[in-house]
Amino acid sequence: MAKSGNLRNRPSMILFASGKGVAPRMRSALEAAGFRVETGTQKAFMRKKPAARRTRAAGAPDQSTPPGAEMERAAPYPLLHDLHSRPKTISTMLKTCAGLSPAVQFAGLALYDPPRSECIRYQCFGPHARLLPERMPWDRFPVLRAAYEKQRAVYVTDTSCLLEQSRPDRMPRGGCLAIPLLEKDPVGVLILSHERGEVLSAPGYSMMFSMARAMETVLENAILVNRLRMSESRYRSILLAAPFLIGLLDSRGTVLEVNPKAVRELRRQGISVRQVIGLNLLEFPGTPEEFRGLISEGLQTGEGVSREKISVPLPRGVEVFRLHAFPLRGRGLPDKELLVIGEMITHYQQILDDAERTERLAAIGRVAASLAHEVNNPLQALRSHLELIRSYPLSEDEREQSFRILEREVERLDETTRRVLGFARPAPDILQPVSITGLLEQALALSKNSLRNQRVEIVTAFPEDLPPVLAAAGQLIQVFLNIILNALHAMKGKGRLEIRVRSLEDRAEVTFVNDGPPIPSEYLARIFDPFFTTRPEGTGLGLSISHAILQRHHGTIHAGNLPHRKGVEFIITLPFAAATS
């Protein structure tokens, strides 16, 4: 059993002999050097390979190759470039191989280029080294192809297999040994040719394989350096070209590095880069609390974190940023690091705020006419009771009753005006736990006269004890009011509007269903685009702004037609406050 185990651990080789008596002599020398030898005939070796092998030789991955293996192998030209730092090491090894025996004609290193089905010579030494061409196509040098495909050393007793077809007399005939370097995925091959009839000593063959293993180490190091250089260059290029502000922080929140875009913005603000590098943003008193929370959350949870809107006070004024933080994971990192990517959206946010306010006022304008009735009723009651008090003698109880009516109607007017003005003024961005059903009721109150005047039936299904959502109340009322008013317009004066709320694990789902005509299929994908509208008097901003508001609340909105042309539904989801805290 020990002997069998030792055999399995010995390097293997395929021997192709060209004549009788040659194979036993060569096999004996190779086995004495410690190799497991498998023999084949020269005729079998030179036989035209099958179609599957031709495809493999042309660069397509073999069926046995694991997916992605071809992507991992080193390309010959970058490898040639990286080997330029090691020419003396390789030349010393090749000269040692060429000097193993006076019979050695040349010893060389070539790099595989499977997509082109050829090898590229890197270095070659020996009395006949100049005969080895710069490029060695596999159809002219089948021993190189065989070593690559079989992923084993190949020994051919006649170098006629290496001859270029156009110059068969240039290269002397003799034995040729090809050892693939990195056997499981060869990137190079060590080639040795010796005179015909001469056999290297057993120590000579052992030395050849020792040199092959040493060259493998050199090639592996070159491949690692090449991949590291390419990876560093690639990611450095991304940092240089990215149109975002990018900073790298360590596990304590200290700034390690910033990209050129961030450097330019710091200079524009009059801040030196030296002031920022080494600054601990978690401890710095000028760091906005929301920014500090973003960094802490990213470092503690190890997950990507985003904030759609953070205001940062800077020397030239307050700037608004959209920020994302991504923890970096890697075996080579001594500690956790955080990549912070920022996008300055100050001007965009100003435009968006103006558009939201404009759309909010437009919504108020659409309900103003219907609110006139709600205001007129209390005014009529006030006028009547004031006239009654002034013109008629009343008992103390009658007078007190009229005063109570006047007080109640004034409160009604105050509630109406506060409701309208509270919605019309700019909504604060502070997110607080609020009742989503309460916000829906406020939106319905703002539009109830429009609903009544158009004879629209309202059906609601609001569950009790629904957890609160984290929201800016005025902004969500704007979203709900926009969908309600759009439904009124679609139903053209009469119909049915259903509003249902239900809990879905960590989110609330609000569904608006109206029985108006379906949205044309070609419009469905565009209804949330800015300025897209099918109404001549519409601005095309309502649904677009609603979509943006819900994104800031980490929510979603979807629109779709019900089957059999039975109406349209809008579905909104919002995370509960506990899920976003």
The token pair that represents 332 in the structure block: 């080579």
| DSSP per-residue letters across 504-566 | ETTEEEEEEEE-SPPPPHHHHTTTTSTT--SSTT--S-HHHHHHHHHHHTT-EEEEEEPGGG-
Asked whether the beta carbons of 48 and 173 are under 8 A apart, the reply is: no
Q: What pLDDT, in 10s, does the model give residues 301-347? A: 888 888 888 888 888 788 888 899 998 876 555 578 899 998 888 77
pLDDT-derived band at 109 (thresholds 50, 70, 90) equals very high
Higher pLDDT, 475 or 122: 122
pLDDT at residue 113 greater than cutoff 60: yes
Query: Helix 202-241 vs helix 87-98: angle between axes, to the nearest 10 degrees?
Result: 160
| Least confident stretch, 2-11, 448-457, 549-558 | 2-11
pLDDT-derived band at 501 (thresholds 50, 70, 90) equals very high
Residues in the chain: 581
Cα separation, 203 vs 403, in Å, equals 120
CA dist 228 to 72, 214, 217, 224, Å? 13, 21, 16, 6
Asked whether the beta carbons of 479 and 530 are under 8 A apart, the reply is: no
pLDDT at residue 349 greater than cutoff 60: yes
Cα separation, 112 vs 56, in Å, equals 13
Regarding beta strands 153-156 and 12-17, do their DSSP bridges make them parallel or antiparallel, or are they unpaired? parallel
Q: Within a 10 A sphere around the Cβ of 331, how many other Cβ atoms?
A: 4
| Least confident stretch, 145-159, 291-305, 442-456, 494-508 | 442-456
Mean pLDDT of 225-248: 78
Mean pLDDT estimate for the chain: 77
Phi-psi region of 467 (alpha: psi -120 to 50; beta: other; left: phi over 0): beta
Mean pLDDT of 107-125: 91
Higher pLDDT, 333 or 441: 441
Cα separation, 240 vs 259, in Å, equals 6
pLDDT at 547: 82
pLDDT at residue 560 greater than cutoff 80: yes
Regarding beta strands 245-249 and 118-125, do their DSSP bridges make them parallel or antiparallel, or are they unpaired? unpaired
Q: Within a 10 A sphere around the Cβ of 105, how many other Cβ atoms?
A: 24
| Least confident stretch, 129-138, 210-219, 444-453, 532-541 | 532-541
Mean pLDDT of 179-194: 87
According to DSSP, the residues that pair with 555 across neighbouring strands are none
Asked whether the beta carbons of 426 and 464 are under 8 A apart, the reply is: no
Burial of 344 (0-12, 13-18, 19+ CB in 10 A): middle
Mean pLDDT of 367-389: 66
pLDDT at 523: 78
**What does pTM read for this prediction?**
0.45
Q: What pLDDT, in 10s, does the model give residues 243-297? A: 888 888 988 999 998 888 888 888 888 888 888 999 999 999 888 888 999 999 9
Mean pLDDT of 52-75: 43
Of the chain, the percentage scoring pLDDT greater than 90 comes to: 13
pLDDT at 163: 46
pLDDT-derived band at 573 (thresholds 50, 70, 90) equals very high
pLDDT at 525: 73
| Least confident stretch, 205-219, 290-304, 381-395 | 381-395
pLDDT at 21: 62
Cα separation, 197 vs 175, in Å, equals 8
Give the domains, in start order, of the chain with CATH numbers.
Answer: 2-60+73-229 (3.30.450.40), 242-344 (3.30.450.20), 350-580 (3.30.565.10)
Cα separation, 474 vs 99, in Å, equals 87
Q: Radius of gyration over alpha carbons of the chain, in Å?
A: 41
pLDDT at residue 199 greater than cutoff 80: no
Q: Provide the b/e sequence for 510-545 (b: ≥16 CB within 10 Å).
A: bebbbbbebbeeeeeeebbeeeebeeeeeebbbbbb
Read off the amino acid at residue 122. Answer: Y
Higher pLDDT, 118 or 448: 118
Of the chain, the percentage scoring pLDDT greater than 70 comes to: 74
pLDDT-derived band at 428 (thresholds 50, 70, 90) equals low
Compute, in degrees rounded to 10, the torsion defined by CA atoms 83, 84, 89, 95: 100
pLDDT at residue 500 greater than cutoff 90: yes
Higher pLDDT, 276 or 410: 276
Compute, in degrees rounded to 10, the torsion defined by CA atoms 353, 354, 356, 358: 160
pLDDT-derived band at 66 (thresholds 50, 70, 90) equals very low
Kind and range of the H or E run holding 568: strand 568-575
Higher pLDDT, 11 or 444: 444
Q: Sign of the C-alpha dihedral, residues 491, 492, 495, 496?
A: positive
Cα separation, 392 vs 401, in Å, equals 14
